[in-house]
Amino acid sequence: MPSQTHLKRPWLRYGVLAAALIACVVFSFWSPFTSSAPSGPDEADQTVPAAVKEPTAPVPSKRVDSGGAHANAPSDGGYAGVPYAKLSRFLGRLSQLPHYDEDRAARYLNYYGSTRYTDEQIVRLVNTDNDLVLFSDAVPAYADDGVLMLVNKYHEMADYEPDDLTDLPAGYASWGALRKEACEAYIAMADAAEAAGCPIFCNSPYRSYKMQQGIYNDYVNRHSLELADTYSARPGFSEHQTGLCVDITADDVEYTEFDQSDAFRWMQAHAHEYGYILRYGEGMEYITGYIYEPWHYRYVGVQAAAYIRSHDLTLEEYYYYFVAGGETPA
């Protein structure tokens, strides 16, 4: 009947269209596999990518006691009971980073699972002994290291006094002296800063053991031992006692806001040309042991200053790798 065929035809037409569409969709998904399906063992080797192998490293069987509670103590419960394969992969990951030290593997492991430090920070802080106990694990600082002498909360110098202290001329500082080489470099740097229209002024150079004792005790009395240790050095642990560092101010700012000044920006760009580095950089407290001090500069000589700056290192790292560690700067 004409009316019935008329009704059936649209249904058939849509049915055929739908079937064709489904076939297209199925084919388009299927075809890449069928067309690239390997036909023999040789071709299979070329088309199936090899599994990406995660780096691993040997896990030392002996654990190392991290020494108890202090600023950088691992706070995530250690790694007891963690399977060997996981620890091995953790060390494998760290071993891909610069300066990974196999001899310190057991100490890196103390930071397994840390949420506080990144892999890179773990390597950097253990390499610079910042996992040890502050002050009580300190070793003597070596004056024989000259202008690269390292003094921090792990390297103390007792009542050391440099033998070539040279007075800073009036106009460069309100008082005091520096070691000869650092003094000459400071004068050249201050002259250049002045010529560039960003004069700097030294308001604290060499400080003796006795002077530091007075300053530190005053801070402890005013605040607390814990707080004083974050911004002031204990006598025998102050870098100012080396005669190699300066606290700097600029005309228009308080010294604590030195990083707001043009003089600071000039120092950022040029201090290394005179052998000086910003010693306690922003975000580096876990290595240097001190909060960010934009005013505190340390003389290390032109070569070390340029390297430290261009590689974004701390003096601690430069010292461990290239002074004590015997590596040659690349």
What are the residues binding Zn ion (CB under 5 A)?
A: 247, 296
CA 222 to CA 242: how far, in whole Å? Answer: 26
Residue 131 or 247: the one with the smaller Cβ distance to Zn ion is: 247
Sequence-distant (≥ 6) Cβ neighbours of residue 171 within 8 angstroms: none
Query: Contact at 8 Å (CB) between 287 and 316?
Result: yes
In the chain, the amino acid numbered 57 is A
CB atoms under 10 Å from CB of 130, counted, come to 22
CB atoms under 10 Å from CB of 44, counted, come to 11
Residue 111 or 280: the one with the smaller Cβ distance to Zn ion is: 280
At 86, list the tokens.
């996981």
SS3 64: coil
The angle at the Cα of 117, spanning 111 to 121, to the nearest 5 degrees, equals 95
CA 130 to CA 124: how far, in whole Å? Answer: 9
Q: Is 322 left (phi over 0), alpha (psi -120 to 50) or beta?
A: alpha
Give the nearest residue (CB) to Zn ion.
Answer: 296
Residue 202 or 308: the one with the smaller Cβ distance to Zn ion is: 202
CB of 246 to Zn ion, least distance (A): 7
Q: Which of 156, 239, 293, 316 is labelled catalytic?
A: 293
Residue 148 or 244: the one with the smaller Cβ distance to Zn ion is: 244
Alpha helices in the chain (DSSP H): 2-36, 41-47, 84-94, 105-109, 119-127, 180-195, 209-222, 225-231, 262-270, 285-288, 302-310, 315-318
Residue 229 or 247: the one with the smaller Cβ distance to Zn ion is: 247
The angle at the Cα of 135, spanning 129 to 138, to the nearest 5 degrees, equals 55
CA 200 to CA 192: how far, in whole Å? Answer: 10
CA 68 to CA 1: how far, in whole Å? Answer: 97
Alpha helices in 37-147 (DSSP H): 41-47, 84-94, 105-109, 119-127
Residue 266 or 290: the one with the smaller Cβ distance to Zn ion is: 290
CB of 277 to Zn ion, least distance (A): 13
Concerning whether 327 is annotated as a catalytic residue, the answer is no
Residue 104 or 296: the one with the smaller Cβ distance to Zn ion is: 296
Active site residues: 293
